[in-house]
């Protein structure tokens, strides 16, 4: 094992606020030591998620002052702490996702709903994440990664892919059903491919011209503006954009018995609903809260079996603040990814 450096580059959220005000600060900090049951990874790539933006801007309340964001981490295993029993080897590519720890004892954990654990903790919110050159992860929450993908392609799978997969499951899309996707960024473009592989007809509704173009390239049946109705009633819909106003048109677009799942951790306020227009005929509105480790395993197995087209916009780690500004301004095609050194 190579000798590790004493310090590293990391970005910290020092003063949450509008991204244009530079709430992230680039600093030189000590390389963390892996604690009991933890792995230390040299970060190869880290996806840039809208949740990181919410943490930086303060939409999500601070859990750890000065936290290092980033929870879509692809890393190389370089050190292990005491009492690690998982079968990882030095040099393995290892994935770090949003869910970092649960109690394992509460009602939710015992019934397989660890994403609802009241004591759950999260990468890049409760503990430092991947906007850095090194990061730690509890070995029980680290993920083996599928072959056939580059580091940059793997990073978005670890949140965008996993959360999109759970949102699709929550939307209860019937076989061959009609799915509406509102917003078409990192998570949506992966969920759409899973739905298409299952035989769905996919309609994408988003304000971005570039995103509509990508949706059609990936096989969507239509791509329109987020405020417009889809060309046919929907069996299911997923709202990826963090815009509460879109809940109303998405619900109104559902056929009888349809389900809308809301995939974000943060959503602006939802206007008043009309029971007759938006919920009657047994339409459902469902939230999506994080994910379980089983969700991650299922999705990563699916990604190994069905090669997904992962559209990315790479940035060097030194430009993490620019990546978040571009994400906020909808200037990112697919998923933004921070990479060690210069982007490919």
| DSSP collapsed to 3 states, 186-255 | HHHHHHHHHHHHCCCEEEEECCCHHHHHHHHHHCCCEEECCCCCCCCCEEEEEECCCCHHHHHHHHHCEE
Residue 84: pLDDT band by 50, 70, 90 thresholds? very high
pLDDT over 80 at 65, yes or no? yes
Torsion sign over Cα 161, 166, 167, 171: positive
pLDDT over 60 at 147, yes or no? yes
Tokens 């509105």 -> residue:
285
Q: For residue range 87-145, list pLDDT tens digits in order.
A: 999 999 999 999 999 999 999 999 999 999 999 999 999 999 999 999 999 999 999 99
Distance CA 67, CA 227 (A): 36
Strand pairing report for 142-144 and 93-96: antiparallel
Query: Would you say how long the chain is, in residues?
Result: 344
pLDDT of residue 240: 96
pLDDT of residue 255: 98
Same fold, 7-145+311-339 and 162-287: no
- Cα Rg of the chain (Å, integer): 20
pLDDT of residue 282: 98
Q: For residue range 252-292, list pLDDT tens digits in order.
A: 999 999 999 999 888 999 999 999 999 999 999 999 999 99
How is domain 7-145+311-339 classified at the architecture level of CATH? Alpha-Beta Complex (3.90)
Helical (H) or strand (E) element with 154: helix 151-156
Torsion sign over Cα 316, 146, 109, 84: negative
- Closest by alpha carbon to 33, among 160, 128, 146? 128
Record the pTM.
0.91
Mean pLDDT of the chain: 95
CA 270 from chain center: how many Å? 22
266 HSE (CA, 13 A, CB side) = 13
Distance CA 309, CA 220 (A): 14
CATH of domain 162-287: 3.40.50.720
Q: For residue range 168-221, list pLDDT tens digits in order.
A: 999 999 999 999 999 999 999 999 999 999 999 999 999 999 999 999 999 999
| Domain spans of the chain, in order of start | 7-145+311-339, 162-287
- Closest by alpha carbon to 100, among 291, 303, 331? 291
Residue 1: pLDDT band by 50, 70, 90 thresholds? low
pLDDT over 80 at 342, yes or no? no
- Closest by alpha carbon to 136, among 206, 202, 77, 199? 77
Q: For residue range 284-314, list pLDDT tens digits in order.
A: 999 999 999 999 999 999 999 999 999 999 9
Strand pairing report for 93-96 and 73-80: antiparallel
């Amino acid at each position: 094992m190579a000798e590790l450096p004493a310090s590293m580059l990391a970005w910290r959220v020092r003063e949450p606020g509008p991204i244009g005000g530079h709430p992230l600060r680039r600093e030189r900090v000590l390389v963390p030591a892996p604690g009991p049951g933890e792995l230390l990874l040299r970060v190869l790539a880290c996806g840039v998620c809208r949740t990181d933006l919410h943490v930086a801007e303060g939409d999500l309340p601070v859990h750890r002052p000065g936290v290092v964001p980033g929870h879509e981490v692809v890393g190389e295993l370089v050190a292990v702490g005491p009492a690690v029993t998982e079968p990882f080897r030095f040099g393995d590519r290892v994935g770090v996702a949003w869910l970092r720890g649960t109690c394992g004892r509460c009602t939710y954990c015992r019934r397989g709903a660890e994403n609802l654990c009241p004591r759950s903790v999260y990468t890049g919110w409760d503990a430092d994440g991947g906007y850095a050159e090194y990061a730690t992860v509890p070995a029980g929450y680290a993920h083996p990664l599928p072959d056939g993908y580059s580091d940059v392609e793997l990073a978005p799978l670890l949140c965008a892919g996993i959360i999109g997969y759970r949102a699709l499951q929550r939307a209860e899309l019937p076989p061959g059903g009609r799915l509406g996707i509102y917003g078409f960024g990192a998570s949506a473009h992966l969920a759409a491919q899973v739905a298409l592989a299952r035989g769905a007809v996919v309609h994408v509704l988003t304000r971005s011209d570039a995103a509509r173009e990508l949706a059609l390239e990936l096989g969507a049946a239509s791509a329109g503006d987020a405020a417009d109705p889809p060309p046919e009633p929907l069996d299911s819909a997923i709202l990826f954009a963090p815009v509460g106003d879109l809940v109303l048109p998405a619900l109104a677009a559902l056929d009888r018995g349809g389900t809308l799942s809301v995939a974000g951790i943060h959503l602006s306020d939802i206007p008043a609903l009309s029971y007759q227009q938006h919920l009657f005929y047994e339409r459902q509105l469902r939230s999506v809260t994080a994910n379980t480790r089983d969700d991650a395993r299922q999705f990563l197995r699916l990604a190994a079996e069905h090669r997904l087209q992962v559209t990315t916009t790479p940035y060097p780690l030194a430009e993490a603040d620019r990546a978040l500004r571009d994400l906020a301004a909808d200037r990112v095609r697919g998923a933004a990814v921070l990479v060690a050194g210069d982007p490919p």
